[in-house]
Amino acid sequence: MALCPGDTTEWDDIQRKFGNLPPLEKEVLQRELDERFVESAERFDPLENRTLEELNAVEDDVSEEDFLQQYRRQRLAELKAARASARFGELRQLCRASYVQEVTEASAGGQWVLLLLYTDANYQCHPMMKPWAEAATRFPMIKFLQGIASEIIPDFPDSLTPTVIIYKDKECVKQVQGLDDWGGGRTSIDTIEWHLAELGIIETDQENDPRTRARVRSSQEDEEFQGKDSADDRAYTSSRLDRVLRGKWT
């Protein structure tokens, strides 16, 4: 049986356990995260950015040393909680047979799962591929997946790719079709971050919408590319995709 990208065989796992194979990238990423959490906790200074009035109030209650110890413990607890939520950190390729397990079931308990449906035949998918992988690294608390549209959903129209399917609590809460919302032909990690924030999936510290300078394709160009068959494609997809997302594979 063919393995999905990112999967390993039992033999590989045994060899990796005895040090005969290098660790997986995810293991390396986890060690890096651990080191960053510890380093951040050690550098944390709770007195930084506090006003003189706040510092005087602190002195009245506890010694500076006790105060530092208390806040370092608090900060370390926060970092450990953040690390626990950073469960992913890499983009995985999805097989159709794993859809229910990797998407529906994986979204239980408020977990965000984002699946990009793409096809190499549609040039509009190309600007999404690299930034989508970068987003998986930037936001390790979110499960990012990608899959060839026609393999995940048989006969899925190429003209409707890229489509991002968003799951939470075992329900499909949103479908985003096309490139416009993600930044058009100049989609980047920053434009993806902005739209994820619009959807309420993450918070962003970006002050301005990076898509205003990134969009280079008008809606008219998209309509010309899709042609008259687009309406028929959408009619097909609305019913077929709904059945698939509910787990009724045909």
If we measure between CA atoms, which residue out of 57, 24, 197, 168 comes closest to residue 103?
Answer: 168
In this structure, what DSSP letter does residue 104 have?
A: I
Per the structure, the complete domain to which residue 33 belongs is given by 10-85
Residues 37-75: tens digit of each pLDDT: 666 655 656 556 666 666 566 555 556 566 667 767 776
CATH label of the domain that carries residue 158: 3.40.30.10
In a domain, 66, yes or no: yes
Asked if 100 and 150 sit in the same domain, the reply is yes
CA R_g for the chain:
23
- Residue 233 near residue 159 (C-beta atoms within 8 A): yes
In a domain, 187, yes or no: yes
Confidence of residue 88 (pLDDT cuts 50, 70, 90): confident
142 pLDDT tier (thresholds 50, 70, 90): very high
Assigned domain for 219 exists: yes
**Contact between 100 and 136 (Cβ < 8 Å):** no
CB atoms within 10 A of CB 156: 22
Q: What is the pLDDT of residue 125?
A: 94
Are 130 and 204 part of one and the same domain?
yes
Looking at the structure, do residues 28 and 106 belong to the same domain, yes or no? no
Q: Which residues contact 167 (CB under 8 A, 6 or more apart)?
A: 103, 104, 106, 107, 112, 113, 114, 115, 173
Q: Are residues 103 and 225 in the same domain?
A: yes
- Same domain for 103 and 157? yes
Whole-prediction pTM value?
Answer: 0.60
Q: Is the same domain home to 101 and 67? A: no
Smallest CA-to-CA distance from 133 within 144, 122, 142 is with 144
